[in-house]
Structure 1
Amino acid sequence: MFPCIIRLFVSLCAAVMEDLFLWMMEDEMWFSNAVDTLLVAMLKDESTSLHFKQPQNARSLMGFQFVNDILTGHPMRCYNIFRMTSTNFHILCQKISSSLNAKKTSAEEQLAIFLLCVGHGCSIQKLAGDFQHSAESIYGFFKNVLKAILSLHDEYIKVPDSSAGIHPLVGPYSGNYLFKDALGAIDGIHIRAIVKGDMERFRNRKGFLSQNVLAACSFDMLFQYVAVGWEGSASDMRILRWAVEEGGFDVPTGRYYLADFGYANTSKFLSPYRYHPYHLAQFNRRPRSSRYAAPEDLYNHRHAQLRNVIERTFGVLKMRFKVLDRMPKFQYRIQTLIVMACCILHNFIKLQNSPDYLFDTLINLESPHDNESSVGTEELSPQVIESLVGTEELSSTNEKTVGEIIRSNIRNSLWRKRQRTN
């Protein structure tokens, strides 16, 4: 008797559930709303019994496998992702591996995390998903590699001493021998910055927040001095004065760097003549027969052709390390150290003497980038240039006098040589 009652009850329940289901399906709007309400409740209320936990880092390809797949794959794929060849990757990894704690995570994986961040401006959250680590671990790896690369500063970035030879670009057979004492060029570049608090200090003349970075480079496109951390409103001359007096920028006696209009002309920093054409494009648009209206024009043209190496160096740097245009929301101090680390990596890659796409492609170009983030003084009026430079005196009267003598001798020699050939 009892089993019959149970079977009857089960049949009745099944019939009721079937009728209820058919009614729900007929009212599609009610059914859809009911499902949406259920999903929202599951997402909002983590304590409900309907919520289920799922691990975030559950990809089948782990971080070390991801790195190994890139390093052993197509060479151009490795270069595009890590911004250097696999050979240079392994050499760099060996140099910094002793500074990294690689017990749980290999040095290769930690370096790959850093290179992806600086090479592409990737966020910590994206890297956490790619490498299957928590965001805290990714940030820790990033800071460890950053510190290790900064420890290579004295090895890769240094001002040459007085025994430095004459570069072939200004050698006896180059046509630029009058500039034989030039070590390279200097300039400032503005790197976008994310700051809190007093933002106006970091707002440059183009209106965006930045840090003003002073750099000196050789004619081989190698950084010889880099000063980071200055706010965007600081003038180039103010930073240079600090670099010479306090920042360790010691130019050897009898040598000099080529500078633009933003710097005073001295015995150590040779600038062009103001109120005369200076841009390469200005000279290229003129017929060769009437290109130079005065000796100062000829001097400025030769000066610009040589000083352009700093523009090309900045171009390679920014094309390789996209973080300089898309800086993540790190502390400002970390942002400044990232710029320095990028300059060290730039020199490391150049000194390996191995094929590199960016160096090989852009080394002979006059202007490889539009320098959007650089606020040069060439675009300013002569009156504005006078106000910027005149208030930031760098040298003694003797240094300015010697600098003017050097510049005048080069100008006059260039002009006499041109007149003889014409």
Structure 2
Amino acid sequence: MGISSSPFPDDSFTSSFSPTSKKRPRTDTWFDDSDNDPSLQEFLTNLLASDNPPEENPAQNVPSPPHLSISAAGNYIESNRAMHEADTYFVHSGNSSNTKRARSHPPDDSSAAASGGVHRRLWVKNRPNAWWEQVNSPDFPDEEFKRAFRMSRATFDTICHELESAVTKKDTMLRLAIPVPQRVAACIWRLSTGEALREVAKRFGLGISTCHKLVLEVCTAIKTVLMPKLLQWPDENKLTEIKNKFESFSGIPNICGSMNQKTSYSITLQGVVDPTGVFTDICIGWPGSMTDQQVLEKSALFQKSDLSGGSWIVGNKGYCLSDWVLVPYSHQNLTWTQHAFNERIEDVQRVARDSFMRLKARWRCLQKRTEMKLEDLPVVIGACCVLNNVCEMRNEGLGDELRFELFDDDVAAVDSGGVASSGTVNGRDRIAHMLLHHSFAGTNFSH
């Protein structure tokens, strides 16, 4: 179907319309006279010539726009696309000697080099980070810094130095890389406050996706760089020191760790700590519905062969008594000796509970719901444990405003119900009687 040059198929409508007889005709005589006037004819010829100068070769300067054709209503989309291409056809190219401009914004010269000669307009949003600039200032009070990041500036600088090679990024032609202290600070702030990712990004002048990626990168660097140094099972010399410290206040010999288990985000964290509350072994990631004993049997700690030979790890009643796990008596009608033994076990268990309390108090992301994927949680929780070890080793005290009452899982713990061998039962009984005869059996037990 073609398109007519007139909106009407014939001249029936236009021929029936004529001006009223009262209107003076505007035709004939002036043009007839002009045909006979040579001076006027020459003037009109020159005027037309000035309006239409001779064209230079258009093919050398401006390429012709795409051909537009409309053949049917069904080609409406194609015609619009062609019209759009014709309207935005002229583009500034660094390889062309001609200067042409698109209908949109003019190109940015700073981006031309990065795009190989083709000018493209790139938009980078400037984000204010006045809060971080103030905190990072040397004049910022150290007490406020510690309240914000759960550690002193000296400890923070040490962490930045250790992670520098792992988290440093290179500058690009478009922007400068985020400095290492800002990266580490954003991650630690996120872990210590549990603040929403949007608010953390705004506080540090970052995009939300950039902030999310940055937090995971720093947590991964903590796991890769710091965990092998700061969260490892102790060697023989260190084990001897740990055993002596536990025995000094409990009276139970050969204790190499106090074990506890908590649930965060419906996944479990099982940890073993030394007498100072420093984690020496962690197991993260099993479902929160699993019992303490089931998690232990899935952990790498269960496979350690160096725990045999009389060394003990003290656990709660959710664990089974074994030749290397020492748990309290859980049956009713305890004897005076058994009750005294349970109190000494409680002293050792308190070390692990207090350590978990400080862990959750410092890193409040463990108290809240998370925006992270389930597969990212083990590395984040592991980073919290490593950072907690840093604070414990450097004696970073916990402010009173951060302390809270940690829910004690032992209250709701279900007895493992496991049947221990006669040898392990007798071994526990010997320890209980030894405490009775070595003045460690002081107890509040009363009949």
Is the TM value for this pair above 0.5? Answer: yes
Q: Give 1:401 shift.
A: 3.9
Query: Which residue in 1 is equivalent to 2:246?
Result: 170
Of 218, 226, 246, the residue aligned with 2:274 is 218
TM-score using structure 1 length: 0.67
Contact 2:321 2:424 in 1 (8 A): yes
1:271 aligns with 2:327: yes
String of CA shifts for 1:46-87, please: whole Å, max 9, x gaps. xxxxxxxx9975537274x24413x64111110111111100
Give the letter aligned to residue 201 of structure 2: A
Which segment is superposed worse, 113-122 or 128-137? 128-137
What is the SS of the residue equivalent to 1:216? strand
The correspondence of residues 38-117 of structure 1 with structure 2, limited to 5 A, is 57-59=126-128, 61=130, 63=132, 65-69=133-137, 72-103=139-170, 104-117=177-190
Query: Which residue in 1 is equivalent to 2:288?
Result: 232
Query: Which residue in 2 is equivalent to 1:153?
Result: 227
Give the letter aligned to residue 405 of structure 2: D
What is the SS of the residue equivalent to 1:413? helix
1:317–1:419 Cα change, 3 Å:
closer
What is the SS of the residue equivalent to 1:125? helix
Which segment is superposed worse, 409-418 or 151-160? 409-418
Q: Give 1:371 shift.
A: 2.5
Give the letter aligned to residue 370 of structure 1: E
Q: Give 1:407 shift.
A: 1.2
Contact 1:267 1:404 in 2 (8 A): no
Q: Which runs of 4+ in 1 moved over 6 A?
A: 419-422
1:250–1:142 Cα change, 3 Å:
farther
Of 127, 143, 163, the residue aligned with 2:200 is 127
Aligned length: 311
Alpha-carbon RMSD across the aligned residues, in angstroms, is 3.0
Contact 1:185 1:259 in 2 (8 A): yes
1:332–1:87 Cα change, 3 Å:
same
Q: Give 1:361 shift.
A: 7.5
1:138 aligns with 2:211: yes
Q: Give 1:256 shift.
A: 1.1
Q: Give 1:160 shift.
A: 2.1
String of CA shifts for 1:196-217, please: whole Å, max 9, x gaps. xxxxxxxxxxxxxx21211111
Give the letter aligned to residue 383 of structure 2: A
Query: Which residue in 2 is equivalent to 1:186?
Result: 259
1:237–1:369 Cα change, 3 Å:
farther
More helix by share: 1
Query: Which residue in 2 is equivalent to 1:344?
Result: 386
1:133–1:148 Cα change, 3 Å:
same
Larger radius of gyration: 2
What is the SS of the residue equivalent to 2:136? helix
Query: Which residue in 1 is equivalent to 2:412?
Result: 379
What is the SS of the residue equivalent to 1:165? helix
**Identity fraction in percent:** 18
1:361–1:293 Cα change, 3 Å:
farther
Contact 1:299 1:414 in 2 (8 A): yes
TM-score using structure 2 length: 0.63
Contact 1:223 1:347 in 2 (8 A): yes
Higher RCO (CA < 8 A, seq sep 6+): 1
User: 5+ residue gaps in structure 2?
Assistant: 1-122, 171-176
Contact 2:267 2:285 in 1 (8 A): yes
Contact 1:257 1:270 in 2 (8 A): yes
Q: Give 1:161 shift.
A: 3.6
String of CA shifts for 1:233-283, please: whole Å, max 9, x gaps. 011101101115776685353211111101111121100111259xxxxxx
Query: Which residue in 2 is equivalent to 1:411?
Result: 432
